């Protein structure tokens, strides 16, 4: 079991609004080990993307990081400012965004943008930077990279652009890449190619990924571990295969049940009743309780983190019991995805 390269501890991100402070991220903790892929799963509005932005310090007013630590190789990067923070971003921890149409500047050539990214951290000549950019494109499986460097973003397909974004993220061999729904905007076939590529890169380069997504199918084929988020909190963690095979939290179970592939055609899809609550109007105790089929009287109080013997946790008063596993304790511990 190696050290975690990224360790998020009790992270809290708030947004100032007219009606008061919203807790978009409310005490999130997780760890990722070298070469591992962590799937951070949740519906839109669950705080998963904000978590990603918070890790890189990309939250802008009216948002702010209200507490917690983000330890990158043991160093808390939430306290970094200005140039110190700049030197970490892109070099030790990088990010890939959801929409490849939007993340590349439409009026700058791919080469210009990649050279700027190389030279943001390394004092090298334009020529060297260009060569590194070309090699990075080749590494993510882009054919004839020289030509691509001379192209504008709109001349590339969505899948190509997302590969470019991943290549940019990989330029400085960062320890961690946060990927915020990077395949959501792409065709399913392209998505499959990119997922395979990412898996290979994680194995070969040892880069750890935090894969933010709403799509359980993506996570099941890609991630080593899963964290499920709901209303700013992590409600369930565990090895990807285990969580998908036997969810502990009723919310995870609901999400899994509504994946269409698991059902016969014509069969009515089960849905999680109700809709994602507004952060400004959360019920006391468990935020999921109003929609939960297992909700009981205890749910009006804050649920404990239940720890199970296979290393899994669930934030629930009444977790789903499986035959083999019983809750061990109710102590507050963080989930370790390091192997």
Contacting positions for other proteins (CB under 8 A): 56, 58, 83, 86-91, 94-95, 97, 99, 102-108, 112-113, 116-117, 120-121, 152, 154-155, 165, 168-169, 171-172
Angle separating helix axes 158-170 and 110-119, nearest 10 degrees: 20
Residue 224 Cα distances to 84, 181, 230, 300, 333, angstroms: 31, 17, 20, 33, 20
Q: Which residues partner with 38 through β-bridges?
A: 210, 225
Measured distance CA(176)–CA(182) in Å, rounded: 15
10 in Cβ contact with 68 (< 8 Å): yes
Q: Quick one: which H or E segment has residue 41?
A: strand 37-41
Closest by CA to 313, choosing from 325, 299, 300, 297, is 325
> Least distance in Å: CB of 16 to other proteins?
11
> Which CB atom, from 98 or from 237, has the smaller least distance to other proteins?
98
Give the strands of the sheet with 4-17, arranged side by side.
20-33, 4-17, 63-72, 75-76
Measured distance CA(35)–CA(200) in Å, rounded: 10
> Which CB atom, from 95 or from 253, has the smaller least distance to other proteins?
95
83 in Cβ contact with 67 (< 8 Å): no
> Least distance in Å: CB of 90 to other proteins?
3
Structure tokens at 63: 């948002």
> Least distance in Å: CB of 15 to other proteins?
12
> Least distance in Å: CB of 86 to other proteins?
5
> Least distance in Å: CB of 88 to other proteins?
7
Measured distance CA(34)–CA(224) in Å, rounded: 12
> Which CB atom, from 44 or from 330, has the smaller least distance to other proteins?
44
> Which CB atom, from 95 or from 229, has the smaller least distance to other proteins?
95
> Least distance in Å: CB of 134 to other proteins?
17
DSSP state of 227: E
> Which CB atom, from 8 or from 315, has the smaller least distance to other proteins?
8
> Which CB atom, from 133 or from 338, has the smaller least distance to other proteins?
133
Measured distance CA(70)–CA(49) in Å, rounded: 15
> Which CB atom, from 198 or from 256, has the smaller least distance to other proteins?
198
> Least distance in Å: CB of 41 to other proteins?
22
CA dihedral over 76, 82, 87, 92, signed as positive or negative: positive
> Which CB atom, from 152 or from 190, has the smaller least distance to other proteins?
152
> Least distance in Å: CB of 252 to other proteins?
29
């Amino acid at each position: 079991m190696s050290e975690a390269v990224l360790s998020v501890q009790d992270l809290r991100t708030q947004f100032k609004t007219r009606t008061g402070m919203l807790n978009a991220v409310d005490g999130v903790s997780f760890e990722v080990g070298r070469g591992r892929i962590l799937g951070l799963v949740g519906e839109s509005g669950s705080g998963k993307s904000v978590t990603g932005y918070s890790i890189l310090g990309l939250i802008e007013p009216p948002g702010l990081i209200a507490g917690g630590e983000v330890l990158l190789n043991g160093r808390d990067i939430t306290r970094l400012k200005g140039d110190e923070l700049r030197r970490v971003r892109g070099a030790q921890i990088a990010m890939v965004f959801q929409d490849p149409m939007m993340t590349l500047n439409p009026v700058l050539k791919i080469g210009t943008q990649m050279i700027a990214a190389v030279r943001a951290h390394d004092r090298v000549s334009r020529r060297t930077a260009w060569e590194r950019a070309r090699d990075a494109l080749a590494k993510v499986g882009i054919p004839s990279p020289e030509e691509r460097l001379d192209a504008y973003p709109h001349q590339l397909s969505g899948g190509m652009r997302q590969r470019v974004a991943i290549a940019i993220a990989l330029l400085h061999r960062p320890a961690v890449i946060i990927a915020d729904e990077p395949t959501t905007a792409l065709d399913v076939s392209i998505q499959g190619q990119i997922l395979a590529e990412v898996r290979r890169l994680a194995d070969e380069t040892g880069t750890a990924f935090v894969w933010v997504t709403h799509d359980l199918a993506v996570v099941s084929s890609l991630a080593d571990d899963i964290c499920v988020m709901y209303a700013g909190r992590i409600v369930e963690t565990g090895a990807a295969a285990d969580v998908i095979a036997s969810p502990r939290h009723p919310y995870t179970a609901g999400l899994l049940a509504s994946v269409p592939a698991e059902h016969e055609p014509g069969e009515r899809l089960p849905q999680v009743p109700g809709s994602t609550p507004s952060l400004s109007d959360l019920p006391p105790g468990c935020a999921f309780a109003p929609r939960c089929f297992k909700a009981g009287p205890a749910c009006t109080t804050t649920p404990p983190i239940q720890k199970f013997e296979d290393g899994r946790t669930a934030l629930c008063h009444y977790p789903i019991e499986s035959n083999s596993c019983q809750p061990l304790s109710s102590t507050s511990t963080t989930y370790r995805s390091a192997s």
